[in-house]
Chains A and B, each alone.
Chain A
Amino acid sequence: MFERINFPMSRVFAAVIPFLLAAFGVLLANFPVSFLGGILPSPLLALMPVYFWCLVRPDLMPPGAAFAIGILEDVFSGGPPGIWALSFVASYALVDRQRDAFAGLSGIGAILGFAAAMLTASGTAYVVMSIYHNHMMPLAPIVLQVAVSVLFYIPVVPVLVLVHRRLVGPLRSDF
């Protein structure tokens, strides 16, 4: 199933896999059917590929891609335009500035790294929404979403690793 791809078209396809996965995460997270009856908010699945490839292959996840995924999240989440676009760019900026620190993390540390990125994105969204509505938003829903997203990152990260090694991996070059 995960045979190595060697011909050029497949290389192009493999190069857009991170973006496609993030876009798929947007659709999946915003699919309006809840298995938990709406008790818990859906995780921010789109941020996972953004964080992962921003860390390991920033050339495949440039700031423009993070911005575009944020716009997609804005479109499908139904919220005010631009909120998640700005949040994703803010989160990307954090990972970009602290890449060495984040890349050195493993195990629980890697999860905490994603938690930091998630906190940055959600915090930005919270602040912008509070300004947008001229009053402080309730904190509990956003904290709950951060918690759910971080929990979901644990099973998702092996999938991302697998995709990277089997599909995106052949495109790796020396930096």
Chain B
Amino acid sequence: MANGTWKIARNRGSAQLPLAIFAVLAIIVVLVGRAQSSLFDRARTTFTDWTAPLLQSVSEPVDGVSRWFGSIGTIFVVYRENLKLKEENAKLRQWQSAALVLEDRIKRYQLLLNAVVDPSLDRITARVIGRESKPFLETMILNAGKSQGVRSGQAVVDEHAIIGRIFLAGERSSWVILLTDLNSRIPVVIRPGNIQAIMAGDNSNAPTLETLAQGAQLREGMQVLTSGDGGLLPPGLAVGVLIRDGGRMRVALLSDANTSDDVQVIKYQAAPETTPTPSLNDLPAASLPPPQPHMPASDNTTATQPVEPEPAPFKPSSTKKNESNSGPAAATEQSVPAEDPSAEDERD
């Protein structure tokens, strides 16, 4: 344009040393940032907290305009779309009644089997106040933060399925890394078949699957759910369905990050894995015959002498409801009555 009209500097060599210094400095920042990825997190959250009210007031009209522009194309298919939705709604109502019956049946089975019930999930409803689509980043900003109970790692869902997870939580705002983002990796399970995999975003609309088990047979249309491995995300959240893209499988997401206005942050914390506390019955010494009264007991033997265990009375499993929640410990304890002949009699 007008560059040719400017008188320019001729002392070109003078910038070489500062350039080299700042290039080295930038490389150091990259390396430090690689080791300490939360280097700028505080600045980011502070900035977002400050601008959250402004973002909220600006995003509403802008979203309205965007939605209006987006809906222009759909005007011509409204009638056909309406018929399709009515048909789909009728089918979904059938599925809903089937699901309610099955839910009720599952509850009864869980009661009969004394199964550990899924923990109830608390949810925080938040509004999307910002969306960022960068070459290396796909994020959205919510108007809920630490003061509302939002923490890093929590899952974010829209009305359909999981949309991403919190990666940065400020006081009044939080950043969500979308499933499509390059840095997104979540453990998923593919059904039917319970095939475990890692779903990885690559900035396309459909994330890919990584770390599949060898010989896993994948077909289009298989369901993808969160597996809950690692304890960060709750298991069983709907993610999407498999679609074929050339030679590889991708996940067509059920959620739509571009149109979601209100989302829910799921407060989930997996029960900590505890090692079972061994009872006296579990100790090998418990099976030894009781000590003879005439045996001389030294100090050492006294210290290691097992206390004679009380005979463990058989308890029906229903009376151990609380114990069954302790996972492996409960499994250990439940295996004891099986050894008991009386228990076998009862079983027979």
What is the interface of chain A, defined by CB distance below 8 A to chain B? Answer: 30-42, 55-59, 62-64, 66-67, 70-71, 74-83, 85-86, 89-90, 92-93, 96-97, 99-100, 102-107, 110-111, 113, 122, 125-126, 128-129, 132-133, 137-138, 141-142, 144-145, 157-158, 161, 172, 174-175
Cβ of B11 and Cβ of A175 under 8 Å apart? yes
Query: Complex Cα distance A128/B29, Å?
Result: 12
CB atoms of B1 and A125 under 8 A apart: no
CA gap between A82 and B27 in the complex, in Å = 7
Residue of A with least CB distance to B54: A31
How many A-B residue pairs lie within 8 Å, measured between CB atoms? 201
B3, A110: Cβ atoms under 8 Å?
yes
In the assembled complex, B30 has its CB within 8 A of some CB on chain A: yes
Question: Do A103 and B12 have beta carbons less than 8 Å apart?
Answer: no
* Chief secondary structure at chain A's binding surface: helix
| Contacts beyond the supplied A79-B136, A107-B1: 15 A-B pairs with Cβ under 8 Å | A32-B131, A32-B132, A32-B141, A34-B66, A55-B8, A74-B29, A78-B137, A82-B31, A96-B16, A102-B3, A103-B6, A106-B2, A111-B1, A129-B136, A175-B8
Instruction: Find the B residue at minimum CB distance from A175.
Output: B9
Q: In the complex the two chains form, is A79's CB within 8 Å of B19's CB?
A: no
User: In the docked arrangement, what's the CA distance between A85 and B39, Å?
Assistant: 14
In the assembled complex, the Cα of A62 lies from the Cα of B22 at a distance in Å of 10
Complex: A144 Cα to B134 Cα, angstroms: 10
**Nearest chain-B residue to A164 (Cβ)?**
B6
Q: Provide the B214-235 mask, 1 if CB < 8 A to any CB of A, else 0.
A: 0000000000000000000000
Contacts of A128 in B (CB 8 A): 30
CB pair B1–A82 under 8 Å, yes or no, is no
* Cα–Cα distance between A170 and B9 once the two chains are bound (Å): 16
Within 8 A of A (CB), among B129-147: 129-137, 139-141
Beyond A33-B55, A80-B34, A138-B204, whether A67 also contacts B135 by CB under 8 A is no
Could you tell me if A38 and B258 are in contact, using CB atoms closer than 8 angstroms? yes
Q: Once the chains bind, are B258 and A82 in contact (CB under 8 Å)?
A: no
Q: Are A138 and B202 in contact (CB under 8 A)?
A: yes
Per-residue 0/1 for B19-50: is the Cβ within 8 Å of any A Cβ (1 yes, 0 no)?
10111011111111110010110011001000
Nearest A residue (CB) for B16: A96
Return the contact of A125 from the options B6, B65, B136 (Cβ within 8 A): B136
Q: B118-138 vs A: 1/0 string, CB under 8 Å? A: 000000000001111111110
B interface, CB within 8 angstroms of A: 1-12, 15-16, 18-19, 21-23, 25-34, 37, 39-40, 43-44, 47, 51, 55, 58-59, 62, 65-66, 69-70, 129-137, 139-141, 168, 175, 182-183, 202-204, 257-258
Residue numbers in A under 8 Å from B62 (CB-CB): 33-35
User: Are A157 and B1 interface neighbours, CB within 8 A?
Assistant: yes
Q: Is the CB of A103 within 8 A of B3?
A: yes
Among candidates A30, A81, A157, residue contacting B33 with C-beta atoms closer than 8 Å:
A81
| A44 CB, nearest partner CB in chain B, Å | 9
Known interface pairs A37-B70, A113-B3, A158-B1. Does A77 touch B134 (Cβ–Cβ under 8 Å)?
yes
> How distant is the Cα of A103 from the Cα of B2 in the complex, in angstroms?
9
Give A121 to B207 CA distance when docked, in angstroms. Answer: 27
A38 to B267, alpha carbons, bound, how many Å?
28
Q: A58-B9, A82-B26, A90-B23 are in contact. Are A137 and B1 (CB under 8 A)?
A: no
Contact partner of A62 among B15, B26, B133, CB < 8 A? B15
Q: Nearest Cβ in chain A — how far from B181, in angstroms?
A: 10
A to B CB contacts below 8 Å, 15 in the list = A33-B55, A33-B59, A33-B62, A34-B133, A38-B133, A70-B26, A74-B33, A75-B40, A78-B137, A85-B29, A89-B23, A106-B2, A141-B135, A142-B136, A172-B7
Measured CB to CB, the nearest residue on chain B to A144 is: B135
